[in-house]
Amino acid sequence: MAEKSANFDEMMVAMDVVDTLRHQEKLALKELGVAERRKALIEKLRHIYAGQGIEVSDAILEEGVRALEEERFEFRPEGGAFGRFLATLYVKRGTFLKMLLLTLGIGAGGYGFYYGVYLYPREHQAQQLKEEGLKRLRAIVALAKEKRITQKAQSLMQQVKTATESGDTAAAEAAEAALERLYTRLVQTYTLRIVQVPGVRSGIWRIPPKNPQGKNYYLIVEAIDENGKALPLEIENEENGKREKVSRWGIRVPRDVYEAVRADKMADGIVDKRIVGKKERGKLEPAYTIPVVGGKITRW
């Protein structure tokens, strides 16, 4: 029994030696692994213990140095890195749970802010564009007197849907605006007549930019609504391709039509036959009562 107690005491002292070496990190780093300095290391350990009033035999000091080198008294958890991670996670589960809840709370708050400030307004705007587009499409289909108008409206509505689904708000707005313009043109009704105002020409001729040898002839007209007022319309200028909203513009006609109107006005200063067309509800263009070539100008 005494022998077992002595062995236990020696083991405890050896473990203390190892612990001393661990705390004397600089000493261990300088001395361990260099065989010729082992004796110097043991001597330093002996002085350390002597200074504490503890007598330790060389055998125990040797055993302690060997144990440190072999890491005999160092605890190594089993299961590898992942096992240690799981064990740590379990021990500190309270802390980790708080961190997880905090992270989730911050994430939820951030997403709520992002949705409220960015996503929801975009989704709401896209839904409004679709609803407005569908409303205009139904109205156009009900009004249109030509199949091509209905087809044009359906094509524009498809553009609205495609653009909103892809998040292209600008394209969706442009397509919806085109539907609005198409509807506005359909509901308009007016009479197209030659302008007759003192000091204003009723017709002009132009040399086309791309044909210096030719001449284009135009009658200057205006659209008069049901109340007798001039109605501004969006007209494309054939000379530059630009669209402008104007109250008067020129419609290109054959030369003989132009000359007939010119002779009429020169006879007494008045154009007797001023009406050249009428625009019905449900159509895009007026029905002309005179031959026209098709081009228009907005400036002269």
Same domain? 28 vs 53: yes
Q: Between residues 11 and 191, which one has the greater pLDDT?
A: 191
Same domain? 110 vs 175: yes
Question: What is the pLDDT confidence band of residue 24, given thresholds at 50, 70 and 90?
Answer: low
* pLDDT value at residue 71: 58
Same domain? 217 vs 262: yes
Domain count within the chain = 3
Same domain? 59 vs 29: yes
Question: What is the pLDDT confidence band of residue 44, given thresholds at 50, 70 and 90?
Answer: confident
Q: Write out pLDDT tens, residues 227-274.
A: 999 999 999 999 999 999 999 999 999 999 999 999 999 999 999 999
Taking a C-beta distance cutoff of 8 angstroms, is the pair 264, 205 a contact?
Answer: no
Same domain? 214 vs 156: no
Q: Between residues 234 and 72, which one has the greater pLDDT?
A: 234
Q: Tell me, yes or no, whether 275 lies in a domain.
A: yes
- In whole angstroms, give the CA distance from residue 70 to residue 52: 26
Mutual angle of helices 147-165 and 169-187, in 10-degree steps: 160
Q: Tell me, yes or no, whether 82 lies in a domain.
A: no
Which contacts (CB < 8 Å, 24+ apart) does range 38-43 have?
38/65, 41/65
Q: Tell me, yes or no, whether 83 lies in a domain.
A: no
Last residue of a domain, one of 158, 187, 216: 187
Q: Tell me, yes or no, whether 77 lies in a domain.
A: no
Lowest average pLDDT, out of 75-79, 189-193, 285-289, goes to: 75-79
Average pLDDT rounded to a whole number, residues 199-207: 94
Last residue of a domain, one of 187, 205, 227: 187
Question: What is the pLDDT confidence band of residue 25, given thresholds at 50, 70 and 90?
Answer: very low
Q: Tell me, yes or no, whether 217 lies in a domain.
A: yes
Same domain? 102 vs 177: yes
Q: Tell me, yes or no, whether 80 lies in a domain.
A: no
Phi, psi (degrees; rounded to nearest 5) at 80: 75, -175
Last residue of a domain, one of 135, 169, 187: 187
* pLDDT value at residue 184: 93
- In whole angstroms, give the CA distance from residue 208 to residue 215: 6
Residue with tokens 């064990």: 87
Q: Write out pLDDT tens, residues 126-142.
A: 788 888 888 999 999 99
Same domain? 144 vs 235: no
* pLDDT value at residue 239: 93
Same domain? 55 vs 110: no
Q: Write out pLDDT tens, residues 83-127.
A: 666 666 566 667 767 777 777 777 666 656 555 655 555 677 778
Question: What is the pLDDT confidence band of residue 223, given thresholds at 50, 70 and 90?
Answer: very high
DSSP the chain: -HHHHHHHHHHHHHHHHHHHHHHSHHHHHHHTT-GGGHHHHHHHHHHHHHHTT----HHHHHHHHHHHHHTTTS---SSHHHHHHHHHHHHTHHHHHHHHHHHHHHHHHHHHHHIIIIIHHHHHHHHHHHHHHHHHHHHHHHH-SSHHHHHHHHHHHHHHHHHHHTT-HHHHHHHHHHHHHHHHHHH--EEEEE---TTS-SEEEE--TT-TT--EEEEEEEEE-TTS-B--EEEE-TTT--EEEES-EEEEE-HHHHHHHHHHHHHHS--S--EEEEE-TT-SSPEESS---S-EES--
Same domain? 60 vs 133: no
Residue with tokens 């007026």: 286
Taking a C-beta distance cutoff of 8 angstroms, is the pair 143, 184 a contact?
Answer: no
Q: Tell me, yes or no, whether 220 lies in a domain.
A: yes
> Burial of 211 by CB count in 10 Å (0-12 exposed, 13-18 middle, 19+ buried)?
exposed
Over the range 91-123, which residues count as b (16 or more CB within 10 Å of their CB) and which as e?
A: eeeeeeeeeeeeeeeeeeeeeeeeeeeeeeeee
Same domain? 22 vs 112: no
Q: Tell me, yes or no, whether 244 lies in a domain.
A: yes
Q: Write out pLDDT tens, residues 143-187.
A: 999 999 999 999 999 999 999 888 888 999 999 999 999 999 999
Domain, as residue range, for 262: 190-297
* pLDDT value at residue 50: 76
Same domain? 101 vs 135: yes
pTM listed for this prediction: 0.57
- In whole angstroms, give the CA distance from residue 189 to residue 228: 12
Same domain? 111 vs 58: no
